[in-house]
Structure 1
């Protein structure tokens, strides 16, 4: 039941709404004096609508919204944040190459800019669809938690992110907030893609047109690889107009030319391996009483009853004398105009030695190619010369097919999630994700999902790796969205969505290992977005008076560990966050060696010369110490001289 407003009607808003009914193209979004988004009339467009002459004024083709400039500025804004390791929440910390990052994804994307610049082959995201619920990604890093709580309602009174807020009565009708949210993130995400990398984005009808315009702007219209329409076979029951039963998967490359040079928009034929296995099983029965004709009859009968096979797969319904599955394909010239003369040379039947008919417009290939195909046994002749020959396509040579614009899949993973005891609504589908992972990635590729949700993509990557024995790696990013206390997830003990995602990866890994026995990477390192490791004095020492500085014993926050500092240095230097490292004791000090000398660090105080020289002797590429590792300035200068003498190529820094 709606509450009474107990106030007079907003006449301006009413008038704008009435004009919007007559001239919808004249109404757009603006920011009012209070900083709120509202609808207003574009008077210039309205004037043009009321005359049949062209009014003066500049025009340009562009896509804009309220807050677009701010979104660009936000993507470029410097933040003082870090990623803090959480070993207890991780799995196989020491050996895994996967990452699970907890925190706002805009902050995470900024923190990953150096370490993963041009390193990600595939980004696959399922962002909020802007269906009326707040998407909980505030794009401001100049306020502290208290200011957020007072100014935006983003944090509750305890400093926790308030994720249960609904949009205001009108905010759900607007697109500007959503456009700004996705725009800044895609700008940063593009930097992380390899030159031949690509991004896949799930979306429904609410924002698909805006998403396509934003992608064209961020990635370049020339890099559009197409949009897949996903028919989910289940029309929405609450529709007021056309009942949508489909969603979209938008596909863009970072550089289409680089992508198409190395890759093809192809996917594995879903049932190809099943078909080949069946043919092998039937062919193995060949003997004196079971001929090749018998095998083909049985194989064709089996193919006819496979209702889930596509028409293209069912065409491979024959077995040759080698046990290979094949299909006949026409060799006729495909164009309407006739082929050149060289494409009309008749083929001689191998048994009757008579010429076979030539298609009316000629062959698909010139005579030299046809001769080579004959020699390789890739031409199928009829019983005599009266039949036009076909080419022979072996299934084992055609295990992939073009990716169509239509995807039919009406299933869900509800039963599988129930089996794993993972409570989560509307997750991505593992099989759909796995299909695209196999289509677009290969050995050693890195995959990123910065709207991880229940970590479906991590699940799909493990499943794909187990099936094809490849070593793909992933980075999942998810803001720790609070679980409402009236949900099944809350009753099961979950308090935020990250807990669900991490549990799903663990349980999915256990299930895959049990079912396949595959020796793949089932682990992940948990890193959490947090405020910088450094105190304010570290960034603005000049603002503190000279007599106050001695009171500041350290410029590093007291609650930070050596591991926090080490990973902060990795971000600073742009090193990947999943490489192996070790820690050893030297003369009472702890020395950390990251990836066999990529970076060696010691964060103890008053580090003796013996340790300095031992580190220098290791000849690391980089070395880092705390400012308090040295008793005074002369000691710090002495350390620099030691490194210059023993390992001049080492870059030395202090924090």
Structure 2
């Protein structure tokens, strides 16, 4: 039976609600007539100020939620500065390691990586009282903020403990997570997905806040991961042997990757009637729903052998009448060994079987456990530097179920960089070209810890060294296997083992926001060049790429043109020169490269006339080139 026509004009209100829900899923709520828009939250999304509202509704609330929304929407003036000395294959690698507060970093990535991340995995603070959470306070100047947080150091950290005795124990954690998840959603591809590790302390709140941000309909599953397989006698109540991984997609377009079929699964297919199409297994023709619930699936069926007619009684049928008739004609219904059954089974042939769907319980055999993670890290460093790291096998399973061979992965609570090792391992196994972006605040290691004793003063130093060592190990193992297999003569390893390091810092530009009465003759010289004196050409290039919305992973080349240093990003996608003395002769030579975009420092020109002459010459010789100055 075809679906009925609505026989009415379109419901424009309903259509508008759906459109707004797609743009602002957190503003979708429930009203007396079904889906509705929370106008207070919508107003908040369109304002940089806190919007008050008192209307009761179904949603997760906590003290500070509106401030958290404002926090996500406030722009940042910070930038990312490249650290070549810590990087590996800086100019050619497509992997990124970013040191700094992940909220600020996520804001900086909004243009360059909008809708480009296929999978996000994070392992945020679990809020056990001993974990550190971010105290995001943008209403104070940086000096006051540092004093307030008790973290006045060279990294401008804002990490504070969150003990259970705090009156805002859950609220502070939610306020920390909300803006980060909100910004992360923007970065996901339309078929992208986020996996979040969590324990029982905030698991219930995490799911609700994700429903708020991603939409209830985009909840995929909650995976139960067996993090240990032995009981502990150190607890007085229950031994915790599992953790959760909450999974939300960006939209309904996410499709989970299936598992390869196993022999055990294939053995369930037989061929009792010697069907020439091969082995099959039966699927029930009965629907769990009752006839009253699914009247469109109720009709009489007839056994073609006994001619007996059967009507649905306690259950409706699983297929529509048209599908039943097609299955009957194609001999895809099985009426029992003696052909006397009143209700048939549907033949599902092995030759048409797809892969296996993953379950939401991952035991330690399938996805590793914390002991594996600890031994894995100790194997690389020959010492214990990190407590309870996730095993790379767990992240590999996530990658296998959610990514293709060539996509981008983000982890903005990267810890010991397990995600990077998992990406390297999986790429080595299947020849993939997955790229990663890791973000980690340079949280100081305890002065009494093994890590500090061996020279690792913060977590970022551990993470970067782990990637170097894991890459070296994988590279050596691949080479040894090629030699063992007799393939050494033709062996070429094209895997990307490198990573570019960037560090969050204040803007490269001078602070020129002085009122007229504060300007003195001595300060006017500051404005001869808008760039801070300690900033390099590499620093400027990174900020230009971010401002122009270009991925930081694009290939960078350097060459000399008319005696000046020129950066070429992704061929002729962007050309940058920050040397002084830019003139018409330089413009003529660089125009031959036909760059799509070109950028100079304002101070690179002798005067405004010289700048205008270069601009007009480029427009004449390379009309497609867009020129900007900083």
- The alignment's TM-score, normalised by the length of structure 2, stands at 0.76
Range with bigger deviation, 115-124 or 234-243: 234-243
Distance 1:179 1:131, change over 3 A: same
Cα contact 1:344–1:363 (8 A) shared by 2: no
Offset at 1:201? 0.9
State the aligned residue count.
Answer: 540
Contact residue 424 and residue 489 of structure 1 kept, 8 A = yes
SS in 2 for 1:83: strand
Question: Residue 98 of structure 2 contacts residue 501 of structure 2 at CA under 8 Å; is this kept in 1?
Answer: yes
Q: CA deviation at 1:108?
A: 0.5
- DSSP-derived class of the 2:132 partner: coil
Contact 1:332 1:363 in 2 (8 A): yes
When structure 1 is superposed on structure 2, of 511-520 and 191-200 the one drifting more is: 511-520
Q: Which residue of 1 aligns with 2:580?
A: 605
Cα deviation for residue 447 of structure 1 reads 1.1
State whether structure 2 residue 247 is matched by structure 1 residue 251.
Answer: yes
Q: Structure 1 residues 513, 333: closer, same or farther in 2, change over 3 A?
A: farther
Structure 1, unaligned stretches of length 5 or more?
1-56, 276-302, 304-311, 348-354
Query: CA 1:507 to 1:629, structure 2 compared with 1: closer, same or farther past 3 Å?
Result: same
Deviation at 1:169, TM superposition (A): 7.4
Specify the alignment match of 1:416 in structure 2: 376
Structure 1 residue 146: deviation in Å?
A: 3.8
CA deviations 1:158-216 (Å, max 9, x no partner) are: 777486x6546723871111111101111111111112212111111111121122111
Q: Secondary structure at the match of 2:404?
A: coil
Separation of aligned partners in 1, 2:614 and 2:127: 56
What SS class does the counterpart of residue 437 from structure 2 fall into?
strand
Shift in CA distance, 237/356, structure 1 to aligned 2, threshold 3 Å? farther
**Aligned-pair distance for 1:564?**
0.9
Which of these residues, 281, 295, 298, is aligned with residue 328 of structure 1?
A: 281
2:133–2:176 CA contact under 8 A, matched in 1 = no
Q: Distance in 1 between matches of 2:590 and 2:223?
A: 54
Counterparts of 1:483 and 1:356 in 2: how far apart (Å)?
79
Once the two structures are superposed, what CA deviation does each residue of 1:305-364 show, in whole Å capped at 9, x if it has no partner? xxxxxxx5774699xx9xx996634465556779878964558xxxxxxx9999998997
Deviations 1:538-595 (A, max 9, x none): x559664567424654221222111111111001111011111211112221111111
Structure showing greater Rg: 1
Q: Which of the residues 341, 347, 354 maps onto 1:398?
A: 354
Asked whether the 8 Å contact 2:281–2:348 carries over to 1, the reply is: yes
- Does residue 79 of structure 1 match 2:79? no
Equivalent runs, 1:89-488 vs 2, <5 Å: 89-141=86-138, 146-156=143-153, 161=157, 166-167=161-162, 170-171=165-166, 174-232=169-227, 233-234=229-230, 239=235, 241-256=237-252, 259=253, 263-269=254-260, 272=261, 275=263, 312=265, 315=268, 328-330=281-283, 332-333=285-286, 344=302, 346=304, 366=324, 368-369=326-327, 372=330, 391=347, 393-394=349-350, 397-401=353-357, 403-409=358-364, 411-412=369-370, 413=372, 414-421=374-381, 423-488=385-450
The 1-side partners of 2:250 and 2:555 are apart by 30
CA distance in 2, matches of 1:86, 1:641: 36
> For the Cα contact (< 8 Å) 1:357–1:385, is it kept in 2?
no
Equivalent residue number for residue 539 of structure 2: 564
- CA drift at 1:508: 2.1
Please state whether the residue corresponding to 1:448 is helix, strand or coil.
strand
Kept in 1: contact 2:116–2:188 (CA 8 A): yes
Q: Tell me if structure 2 keeps the 8 A contact 1:420–1:504.
A: yes
**Aligned-partner Cα distance in 2 for 1:317–1:458:** 43
**Which residue does the alignment assign to 1:592?**
567
Give the alignment's Cα RMSD to 1 decimal.
3.7
Distance 1:373 1:92 in 2: 61
Separation (CA, whole Å) in 1 of partners of 2:149 and 2:411 = 27
Where does residue 33 of structure 2 map in the other structure? none
Change (3 A) 1:356 1:613: farther
Give the distance between the partners of 2:172 and 2:564, measured in 1 at CA: 51
Task: Find the counterpart in structure 2 of residue 291 from structure 1.
Answer: none
Q: 1:161 to 1:550 in 2, by over 3 A?
A: closer
Q: CA deviation at 1:95?
A: 2.3
Q: Which residue of 2 aligns with 1:514?
A: 476
Contact kept, 8 Å, 1:131 with 1:172, in 2: the verdict is no
CA–CA distance in structure 2, aligned partners of residues 225 and 629 of structure 1: 53
Structure 2 unmatched ranges of 5 or more: 1-53, 480-492
Q: Secondary structure at the match of 2:118?
A: strand
* Residue 469 of structure 1, CA deviation: 2.4
Asked whether the equivalents of residues 71 and 181 of structure 1 are also in contact (C-alpha less than 8 Å), the reply is: yes
CA contact (8 A) 1:465 1:520 kept: yes
- What is the alpha-carbon distance in structure 1 between the residues aligned to residue 256 and residue 623 of structure 2? 48
Tell me the SS of whatever aligns to 1:225: strand
- Once the two structures are TM-superposed, the CA of residue 640 in structure 1 deviates from its matched residue by 2.0
Partner of 1:575: 550
CA offsets, 1:382-416, max 9 Å, x none?
Answer: 99979999846438943331x33333337332222
Work out whether residues 129 and 164 of structure 2, in 8 Å CA contact, stay in contact via their aligned partners in 1.
no
| Cα pair distance change 1:368/1:79, threshold 3 Å | closer
CA deviation map 1:271-294 (0-9, x unaligned) = x46x4xxxxxxxxxxxxxxxxxxx
Cα distance in 1 for partners of 2:128, 2:88 equals 35
